[in-house]
Chain A
Amino acid sequence: MKYLQFYLLGILIVASGCDVLNQDPQTAIAEEDAIRNEKSAEAALNGLYGQLQSGDYYGDNILIISDIASDISQSVGTWDFYREIDTYNTVPGNLENRNLWSEAYATVNHANNIISQVPELENVPQESKDQIIGEAYFIRALAYFDLTRTYGGVSGVAGTMGVPIVTEPSRAIGENSYPSRSSIEESYTQVENDLKEAESRLSGFSNPNWASEAAAKALRSRLYLYTKDYGLAEQYATDVIDNYNFSLVEDFQDIFYSENTSEAIFELAFNTTDPSSIRSWYFPSSRGGRGDIALHTDFVEKVKSRPQDERGDLIGFDANIGVYYPSKYQKTGADDNIQILRLAEMYLNRAEARVRKQPVDLSGALADLNEIRNRAGLQDTAGTGVDTAQEILRAIELERGIEFFEEGHRWYNLVRTGRAQDVLSNIDRENSEPVSLDNAGRLVFPIPSRDIDANENLQQNEAYR
């Protein structure tokens, strides 16, 4: 063969070429392999907490949305999406509104994967399975709870529809990928059922950074205020207060400046390599933040009118722009933890439940309220004109506002109690005329326009059509 060398060369080239189509990802694994033994199931569970940490969800967004939609914080920067929410101009295309919806459902899908796959694993002890699945149920409950109260509403008070309920993991886009909305009641029932599942698998409490039986009960106490089951709300608050050795910390600011205090029931952890972005939203540029969001001056004046209230110490002043900002989140490494459930809320939940339940228990309610006031350096309510049920409810509302400012409670509480339109009227703002929440339809947020476009079974909330 005259051209033998060329044939050999050809063989060499062909042999070297055959592998180029076989490439494998280096930073990801196939979905079928994601949950296959105890270690990978634990990794999937850790990742589920990572979903909560997202800046689109509990990393900062849901806290900001709740406070900026209320009378606590205002948008003074360039991020229009929060300004829209602040001024009750939210459009269905609002990016932060969409981010919250998207991330909450990503959390749901992630939990669905764990809930459906972990029970099938072989060679994993039942206790480990229960722990992993129980925590996943808790987080799914939290996500559905947030979705329902944000986009669905509260029966008889706000909104008319619940949210789509998806309980199977998504592996492909098919018929089941286009759910329609459930009712508000069905949505909250889903939350309750998931919390029951969590409770049945988890026991006790050891570390607030992870979901626990205590956390599930604490969330149930909150849930029942939304569903108006006040007896149960009181019962679960009491259960948490009495049975898990929680205690209010003496110095209010320790809740934020220390970590994992005796008061923390469910506290989302961050560290310097896995930081939270919340501080940057509030902190002025002189302290290294973007200073987009400030406190309403009226709110600050309300707090400062009570000079002995220690909670007012967690407010700073940005002389550059002339606005107040919260300093609950202030760590240089941006590793401030986020408080999702803490004991003070259990006292206030119980106080509220005791006023609203039948039969009423006003003195019990006042006792709970005073626990919170005393810890903040305030006297009991005695002699301040807080006596009737109505007055106590207002006092609880005020105390919740000051206790949990910038922790994402205010908007949801005002909506739930039917007080939003009264309170959120003529709110003074830094860079516009005062704003008011005039349209009752805006007590719920719009379903993101992207999903309205992508899923024809999904109906938009009325005010946004």
Chain B
Amino acid sequence: MDKHIFTLCSGIPTKQENRTTDSNNGWTIICFTFLIFILSASISIAQVTVTGTVTSANNGRTLPGVNVLEKGTSNGASTDKNGEYELEVTGPNAVLVFSYIGYLSKEVPVRNRQTINVKLKEDVEKLKEVVVIGYGEQTRETLTSSVSSVSSADIQNTPSAGADQLIQGQAAGVQVSSNSGMPGGGISINIRGTNSISGGSDPLYVVDGVPIETGNFGLGTGGAQTSAIADLDPSNIESIEVLKDASATAIYGARASNGVVLITTKRGSNSEPIIQFSTYYGINEAVNTPDLVSGSNFEMLMNEAARNNGEPIPYSNPDNAINTNWADKVFRTGAVRSHDLTFSGGNEFMKYSISGSNFTQDGVIRPTNFKRNNARVNLDLQATDNLSFGTSITYSNSSRNRVRNNDNITGVLGGVYFYPTNLPVYQQDNSYTKFSIFENPVAAVEEVDFDMSVNRLIGNVFGEYEFTPGLTFRTSWSYDYNQVSEERYNNTFTNEGSAVNGSALATTALSNNWTVENTLNYLFNVDSHNFSVLLGTSIQESTFERTTASGQQFPSNDFRRIEDAAVQTSSSTGTSSGIASFFGRLKYDYDGKYLLTANVRRDGSSRFGERNQWGTFPSVALGWVASEESFFNIDWMSNLKLRASYGVTGNQSGIDNFQALGLWGGESYTENPGTSPQQLANPNLKWETTNQLDLGIDIGLFDDRLSIVYDYYYKKTDNLLLAVPVPMSTGFEELVQNYGEIENEGMELSISGDIISREELKWNLNFNISGNRNKILELASPFNVYNRDIYRYQEGYPMYSFYLHKQLGVNPETGEPIFEDVDNNGTFNPNVDRKIVGNANPDFFGGITNRFNYKNVDLSVFFQYSYGGDQLNWNRFFQEHGGTRNTGFLSSQLDRWQEPGDQTMVPKMTSDNYASNLRPSRFLEDGSYMRLKKLTVGYSLPNQFLGELGISSLRFYVTGQNLLTFTNYSGLDPEVTATATSSLTKGIEFYTQPQARSVIGGFDIKF
């Protein structure tokens, strides 16, 4: 056995001129150890040569790349492009083992034969399902970690606007919420709770091996985000794997704490050319629109408030008031359409999958829309028997027409809520009615141009070389390019534009992110001891640049580009970061019964402080497949596997690129350039560390017709990255430090089964439920976030805790609100009598999917649910103002106390009862809901009609989304979050565009 170990060490100090920190070794010397094991199996003298062809038992095609191994040795070969193999074996009594991914292995004794042709059966059992894992794939049978898969079987037949929707409600422990109903809008995915306070809870997304950037590069529109994975065409996706426990994620080291989402796009297979065309059309409409009082009621309420305050009434004749339904002026029914064309196929030399698609979605608020053109080329080339190459390249170009919304007073929805309904849209001179600082909603829709276009290229080129059977070197070069351009123009009819004769803003953001990864994989076995060893290195660098220009003072509204503006300003900025890593994994099993997986990754990051530049993230997992034991004889239980894993992962996303350094930035005084202190240094800054324990059990019943997966986990994250408040008398407000602890503990259960599995009638059920308990264990000091301090972070409480005045009721005699006297000193003092009254975390959540097939008709019904989370209807805070403002009223104001004896939570309308320092808890509502997320009915034409036309399949379908929602929540949508740009807040609706209900119809045709 030869063994070569190469260590390459490169440590050329490159001291930067403008950095005079004392650091040297940490920053400048990066020692890279590159290990290559070359293991060649000892070769014994062969006595018999066996040849043969391996074919598929299902379709008779030859199978290339099948592993042929002499049992009990490492002597093996694989079939060539024609499915043929040749192997010298030790003797006539040898046994050959044929194995191929997706097929059942087969053992064949040689018995003196020289030609052995073998047919392999496709593995249809779920347990043999291949799961994509970090840097590889594996059968579910030997998986020791917790991975949820959404496979093509789950994905096909249900069209989705975005990749995120494919996971929603499908994977236990994964909470997916749409942040708004804005087309192409952001989503938030939480895997097993939130592990970080300020570090963000987004998982790492890896598309075909490329860790992609998911930052929000667009202009803010308030709290709204656009989704970075919206650039992916969901119909291109073969499978999505969500890696949840430390054993699965630790291979991604310092970025793995929040879980990892692996997205695999479709590749070609060894088949005749297939042409597939899919298209659908549909409509979108708002399920709910803001429920504001009529113009007459507005005036009546304002009069009542004035009367109660002892002031003259402002409106003499409310009955004759104008009544403007602002929502009607901006909401609409929009169109959705999608076209998708794919060519795929291949032979033993080359496999291809090439597709193009076009998707358009109109939002329910004028004039929002989202258009995406997508092209993808996935190629696999077999250059020689040992050498193969491949590409996975996706290009997408998307454009969005946006409006400002969410937590934004100049937004459309803000205007709808704030503008009193007794104001007309237009004044007599046809100008827009203006009101306070809010934008007239019609003007916000009609007079603002706000466009965003995104060019995204995610490309990966890889090469693989097989030294000997089982020993493979893979090099993978990836590039993620994202260019986001935005133009916004407010003409002189808008508030912003009127002050400056038209105002325009243009930005271009460029994100470049390259990754080079090299792995060496060695699969071998000694008797029944099966080993798989992975070693690898990874280098990644990200750069980001943004150029911004703005213009004011336009000659007229016919001019919209900055070129024509009299006052022009511009700026540019940039930043960069890098990660260098090495990693290894050992997988071992004994006869498929006793399983072990051990991972380790070592990550260095440019973001870490000089004293902590490298971190190590290990994990280990054990599994026992009890059902494989000879003593296991429960007939109806076809599979029983126990799993346990423990490991350490990190999260570095809470560190800004140069957070560890003490910096001064630019601060000019008119035309005089200047500088000012920006942040304090923290050379100890490092990743957040999550220790996770996972205990799981996989059960298969009745020949795996019913499978149950249950997991318990406990995660403790310490060294939390927190902007710890420092006394402001230092001149700084906070210092980002590794301080604090948080825990997440939870359970996940998913059950899937073929309840009825007859030739003509099939019923498949997928059910999952998850619960997570989040608790803050340690903080430097409690702190409040968001406007009016409505969230509080405090030890012993979960994140997203709402900090309000607990309203107990309204005194039926006086109409005054009664608040809890928290400190029990006899009087309610708004300064101190505030407490945590709830939180946005659901007690449990999940999804139920039922799929029925009857002859050629298929029906799929998907419900999503969430129970026990609180949702703050912050619109009510502003629109149930009791007359203390002159802005619109929500109809909930009509429930106010009016006369002694009234039982209500809404106080008498006086300025005291609605004082500006009150944060009443009555706006915090139960956000539980159950939603019929998707309902699809399809019909596939019977084959006998198709054959003559050269069509291999044709299916028509109709899908409805968000058709029904069961909830007690009074706002527009219990699922949305207005403040998605902040990781500190959740569960708040604040002028947020609700999700749309859509109905679409389409067909898929395959040639």
Contact indicator A47/B667 (Cβ below 8 Å): yes
Residue from the list A163, A170, A290 in contact with B732, Cβ < 8 A: A170
Does B947 sit within 8 A of A, measured CB to CB? no
Contact with B along A176-199 (1 / 0, CB 8 A): 011100000000000000000000
Contact with B along A8-43 (1 / 0, CB 8 A): 011101111111111111111111111000001001
Contact indicator A464/B437 (Cβ below 8 Å): no
Does B859 sit within 8 A of A, measured CB to CB? no
Could you tell me the distance between the alpha carbons of A413 and B106 in the complex, rounded to whole angstroms?
Answer: 95
Select from chain B the residue with minimum beta-carbon distance to A337: B670
In the complex, chain B residues whose CB is within 8 Å of the CB of A108: 729, 731
Q: 17 A-B contacts, Cβ less than 8 Å apart?
A: A13-B539, A21-B604, A26-B574, A29-B675, A31-B681, A34-B675, A40-B675, A87-B915, A170-B680, A179-B729, A274-B669, A288-B500, A290-B495, A433-B309, A451-B727, A454-B728, A464-B831
Given A20-B606, A78-B436, A78-B885, is A450 in contact with B728 using a C-beta cutoff of 8 Å? yes
Interface hub of B10, B496, B552, B916 (most chain A Cβ within 10 A): B916
Given A31-B677, A333-B567, is A179 in contact with B727 using a C-beta cutoff of 8 Å? yes
Does A286 sit within 8 A of B, measured CB to CB? yes
In the complex, chain A residues whose CB is within 8 Å of the CB of B604: 21
In the complex, chain B residues whose CB is within 8 Å of the CB of A166: 729-731
Given A170-B680, A291-B436, is A31 in contact with B36 using a C-beta cutoff of 8 Å? no
Could you tell me the distance between the alpha carbons of A19 and B311 in the complex, rounded to whole angstroms?
Answer: 71
Given A106-B677, A109-B677, is A93 in contact with B537 using a C-beta cutoff of 8 Å? no
Count of interface residues, chain A, beta-carbon cutoff 8 Å:
107
Contact indicator A33/B309 (Cβ below 8 Å): no
Contact indicator B885/A22 (Cβ below 8 Å): no
Contact indicator B911/A110 (Cβ below 8 Å): no
Contact indicator A77/B436 (Cβ below 8 Å): yes
Interface hub of B436, B467, B788 (most chain A Cβ within 10 A): B436
In the complex, chain A residues whose CB is within 8 Å of the CB of B438: 285
Interface hub of B495, B883, B884, B912 (most chain A Cβ within 10 A): B495
Could you tell me the distance between the alpha carbons of A227 and B18 in the complex, rounded to whole angstroms?
Answer: 48
In the complex, chain B residues whose CB is within 8 Å of the CB of A448: 728
Contact with B along A263-276 (1 / 0, CB 8 A): 00000011111100
Chain B min CB distance to A283 (Å):
8
Contact indicator B498/A9 (Cβ below 8 Å): no
Residues of A within 8 A of B (CB): 3, 6-7, 9-11, 13-34, 40, 43-51, 53, 76-78, 80, 83-84, 87, 89, 91-93, 95, 98, 101-102, 105-110, 112-113, 163-164, 166, 169-173, 177-179, 209, 269-274, 280, 283-292, 320-321, 332-334, 431-433, 448, 450-451, 453-455, 458, 464
- For the complex of A and B, the 4 pairs showing the least CB-CB separation, nearest first, are A288-B499, A109-B731, A46-B674, A20-B578
Could you tell me the distance between the alpha carbons of A433 and B308 in the complex, rounded to whole angstroms?
Answer: 10
Contact with A along B535-565 (1 / 0, CB 8 A): 0010111000000000011000000000000
Select from chain B the residue with minimum beta-carbon distance to A285: B434
Chain A min CB distance to B781 (Å):
5
Does B725 sit within 8 A of A, measured CB to CB? yes
Chain B min CB distance to A95 (Å):
7
Select from chain A the residue with minimum beta-carbon distance to B518: A13
Given A43-B673, A332-B499, is A453 in contact with B732 using a C-beta cutoff of 8 Å? no
Contact indicator A102/B727 (Cβ below 8 Å): no
Chain A min CB distance to B13 (Å):
10
In the complex, chain A residues whose CB is within 8 Å of the CB of B32: 14, 17-18
Contact indicator A3/B781 (Cβ below 8 Å): no
Chain B min CB distance to A380 (Å):
40
**19 other contacts beyond A15-B10, A289-B437, with CB at 8 A cut-off?**
A17-B537, A18-B12, A21-B579, A23-B578, A28-B666, A29-B675, A32-B20, A46-B674, A46-B675, A47-B669, A47-B676, A49-B672, A170-B730, A273-B569, A285-B434, A332-B501, A432-B884, A450-B783, A454-B726
Residue from the list B28, B574, B661, B916 in contact with A87, Cβ < 8 A: B916
Contact indicator B665/A27 (Cβ below 8 Å): yes
Residue from the list A9, A45, A105, A292 in contact with B728, Cβ < 8 A: A105
Does B16 sit within 8 A of A, measured CB to CB? yes
Contact indicator B573/A432 (Cβ below 8 Å): no
Given A17-B516, A23-B577, A51-B676, is A6 in contact with B728 using a C-beta cutoff of 8 Å? no
Does B319 sit within 8 A of A, measured CB to CB? no
Select from chain B the residue with minimum beta-carbon distance to A464: B831
Could you tell me the distance between the alpha carbons of A449 and B500 in the complex, rounded to whole angstroms?
Answer: 38
Contact indicator A9/B475 (Cβ below 8 Å): yes
In the complex, chain A residues whose CB is within 8 Å of the CB of B540: 20
In the complex, chain A residues whose CB is within 8 Å of the CB of B131: none
Could you tell me the distance between the alpha carbons of A332 and B495 in the complex, rounded to whole angstroms?
Answer: 13
Given A24-B18, A29-B664, A432-B884, is A91 in contact with B831 using a C-beta cutoff of 8 Å? yes
Chain B min CB distance to A222 (Å):
23
Contact with A along B821-844 (1 / 0, CB 8 A): 000000000110000000000000
Chain B min CB distance to A105 (Å):
5
Contact with A along B880-895 (1 / 0, CB 8 A): 0001111100000000
Residue from the list A11, A76, A78, A87 in contact with B409, Cβ < 8 A: A78
In the complex, chain B residues whose CB is within 8 Å of the CB of A25: 575, 657-658, 661, 663
Could you tell me the distance between the alpha carbons of A19 and B537 in the complex, rounded to whole angstroms?
Answer: 15
Residue from the list B34, B580, B671, B783 in contact with A20, Cβ < 8 A: B580
Contact indicator B668/A46 (Cβ below 8 Å): yes
Residue from the list B436, B674, B781 in contact with A49, Cβ < 8 A: B674
Does B315 sit within 8 A of A, measured CB to CB? no
Residues from 1 to 29 in B contacting A, C-beta threshold 8 Å: 6, 8, 10-12, 14, 16, 18-21, 27-28
Residue from the list B38, B309, B552, B783 in contact with A432, Cβ < 8 A: B309
Contact indicator A178/B727 (Cβ below 8 Å): yes
Could you tell me the distance between the alpha carbons of A11 and B260 in the complex, rounded to whole angstroms?
Answer: 30
Contact indicator B726/A172 (Cβ below 8 Å): no
Contact indicator A13/B537 (Cβ below 8 Å): yes
Select from chain A the residue with minimum beta-carbon distance to B38: A3
Select from chain A the residue with minimum beta-carbon distance to B878: A78
Select from chain B the residue with minimum beta-carbon distance to A172: B680
Could you tell me the distance between the alpha carbons of A179 and B778 in the complex, rounded to whole angstroms?
Answer: 25
Does B930 sit within 8 A of A, measured CB to CB? no
In the complex, chain A residues whose CB is within 8 Å of the CB of B10: 14-15, 18
Contact indicator A10/B733 (Cβ below 8 Å): no
Does B712 sit within 8 A of A, measured CB to CB? no
In the complex, chain A residues whose CB is within 8 Å of the CB of B47: none
Given A34-B675, A106-B732, is A173 in contact with B573 using a C-beta cutoff of 8 Å? no
Could you tell me the distance between the alpha carbons of A286 and B498 in the complex, rounded to whole angstroms?
Answer: 8
Contact with A along B892-929 (1 / 0, CB 8 A): 00000000000000000011100111000000000000
Contact indicator A289/B499 (Cβ below 8 Å): yes
Contact indicator A29/B670 (Cβ below 8 Å): no
Could you tell me the distance between the alpha carbons of A290 and B884 in the complex, rounded to whole angstroms?
Answer: 17
Contact indicator A173/B680 (Cβ below 8 Å): yes
Residue from the list A3, A27, A98 in contact with B574, Cβ < 8 A: A27
Could you tell me the distance between the alpha carbons of A31 and B732 in the complex, rounded to whole angstroms?
Answer: 14
In the complex, chain A residues whose CB is within 8 Å of the CB of B787: 95
Contact with A along B74-112 (1 / 0, CB 8 A): 000000000000000000000000000000000000000
In the complex, chain A residues whose CB is within 8 Å of the CB of B727: 164, 177-179, 451, 454-455, 458
Does B796 sit within 8 A of A, measured CB to CB? no
In the complex, chain B residues whose CB is within 8 Å of the CB of A31: 662-664, 677, 681
Contact indicator B676/A453 (Cβ below 8 Å): no
Residues from 470 to 505 in B contacting A, C-beta threshold 8 Å: 473, 475, 495-496, 498-501
Could you tell me the distance between the alpha carbons of A43 and B676 in the complex, rounded to whole angstroms?
Answer: 9
Could you tell me the distance between the alpha carbons of A169 and B579 in the complex, rounded to whole angstroms?
Answer: 34
Residue from the list A11, A33, A178, A285 in contact with B436, Cβ < 8 A: A285
Chain B min CB distance to A145 (Å):
16
Could you tell me the distance between the alpha carbons of A19 and B658 in the complex, rounded to whole angstroms?
Answer: 16
Contact indicator B539/A270 (Cβ below 8 Å): no
In the complex, chain B residues whose CB is within 8 Å of the CB of A101: 728
Residue from the list A80, A177, A284 in contact with B726, Cβ < 8 A: A177
Interface hub of A15, A43, A172, A287 (most chain B Cβ within 10 A): A43
